Amino acid sequence: MKIDNSLKSMVLALLLAGLGALSCSHDTRRPTKVIVVGVDAADWGVMRHLLDQGRLPNFTRLISKGATGRSETFIPLQKSPILWTSIATSKLPDEHGIGGFVKSTETGQMVPYTGNVRRVKAIWDILGDHGMTVGVVGWMVTWPAQKVNGYLVSDYIQYETEKKIKLEHQTYPEDFFEEIDHLRLVKADMTDDRIAHLYPVDRTDEELGVEPWRRDYVKMIFATDETFRRVARYVHEKGVDFLAVYFNGVDSMCHNLWDQSKNENHPLHDVIDNYYVWIDEVLGQFMDMVDDETLLVVCSDHGFYGPRRAEDGGLLLGVYMHGRYGIVGFMGKGIRAGSQIVDADILDITPTILYALGIPVARDMHGRVLTSAFEPDFLRNNPVAFVPTYETGEREAEEPIVSPVDEKIKEKLKAVGYMQ
């Protein structure tokens, strides 16, 4: 039986199409959007029992559907403002200029570091220069809010100020504060019912055997994280290309309740676990925002170890409670599902995001692209590109700006052992 030429052509075309589909089994196009969820002090080891118990379904989904691993922090151990600035810049502290929580001025006054002190570009500045719209919510050391190509909601929106005090530059644009003010929560908004999923509010302080301030502290920390969650979801609805949001609560709960968490008979034994469970729920909400064009990034600045012993036998608190390894995870466009990231550190986050988006990595960045997170086809079709630097030399060293909330910040630092 003869087959006419038109039928032969159709069969050949179908065969070629099938072979093409087989040879390009993975989508090698780059993502066009990124969501970064920063969880201070998140630690795979600390959450291991919760993962095993099935209580962290979204972190479990990140592990199975994404690429995950440990992320090494700076050694010697450093304070979180240094680390989160290095995560956002891939630069070392002596380059980016943020030296900790507070700085001593010429008059001897201890003033919290503020965003004007940062001397190098953050990833949101670089992306904005490349025409991407950005949204940054609650990231450490971002007050006063600097100009970005989009929205910046500084970490200072968490502080409750006196009615007569006008704290300027909490957001960029400035008038964006009025748009999100209704989403802010402060300690005064936190009834016992609102923290009942975290803290045993049905027990008195005497029954719990703790100081009365502990309950208020949980309310303050949860109000901050819940504010950042609400605002970040609102900013996402603005349609930004890059969204970064920071959550502090895991770190604060660990600093304050680590000893209690290790005593199964203590009524506050579950508070840290409960907070991880809530963060997992929040992570699920951001996962639900991920579409076919989006890369999700989850990271921490360090892990958590607990109090260490000094040579004289005393307890070392504050930064000495940090663990050497935090977490890193990627999920979405171009990512190799179920893969393990090896030899990562906190300086690698920014270069990896730039690479995924097709933006050159600066050679003066200290991190590297975490290639083990990506599909082999993606890597073959998208080689890493470089530029010498993104710095223009326009940012000069400045002193921190005194603000009306400085005392509140220092009170919070004393509660976690960072200040005396």
- pLDDT of the residue at 153: 98
- What tens digit of pLDDT does each residue of 347-387 get? 999 999 999 999 999 999 999 999 999 999 999 999 999 99
pLDDT band, residue 400 (cuts 50/70/90):
very high
Determine, yes or no, domain membership for 19: no
Write out pLDDT tens, residues 31-71.
Answer: 999 999 999 999 999 999 999 999 999 999 999 999 999 99
Q: Which residue has tokens 């989403």?
A: 183
- pLDDT of 315 over the 80 cut: yes
Which position has the higher pLDDT, 415 or 67?
67
* Residue 289: band (very low, low, confident or very high) from pLDDT cuts 50, 70, 90: very high
- 403 occurs within a structural domain: yes
- Phi and psi at 245, nearest 5°, equal -135, 145
For every residue of 316-380, DSSP letters joined together read E-GGGGEESEEEEEEEETTB-TTEEEEEEEGGGHHHHHHHHHTPPEETT-S----GGGB-HHHHH
pLDDT in tens, 1-15: 444 554 444 444 444
Angle at 338 between CA 297 and CA 326, to 5 degrees: 45
Q: Is residue 232 part of a domain?
A: yes
Higher pLDDT, 161 or 14: 161
Rounded (10°) angle between helices 249-261 and 213-236: 150
Domain carrying residue 229? 30-415
User: What proportion of the chain, given as a percentage, has pLDDT over 90?
Assistant: 81
Count of domains forming the chain: 1
**3 lies in some domain:** no
- Local confidence band at 104 (pLDDT 50, 70, 90 cut-offs): confident
For residue 5, is it within any domain? no
The answer to whether position 250 is within a domain reads yes
The pLDDT tens digits of the residues spanning 124-153 come to: 999 999 999 999 999 999 999 999 999 999
CA–CA separation, 233 and 376 (whole Å):
33
Residue 209: the pLDDT is 85
Residue 4 located in a structural domain:
no
Q: Would you say residue 25 lies in a domain?
A: no
The reported pTM is 0.92
Report the CATH number that the domain containing residue 278 is assigned in CATH.
3.40.720.10
| Contact by Cβ (8 Å): 391, 364 | yes
Supply the DSSP symbol for 158.
G
Nearest partner of 217 among 225, 308, 367, judged by Cα: 225
Q: What's the pLDDT at 227?
A: 97
pLDDT at 268 exceeding the cut of 60 = yes
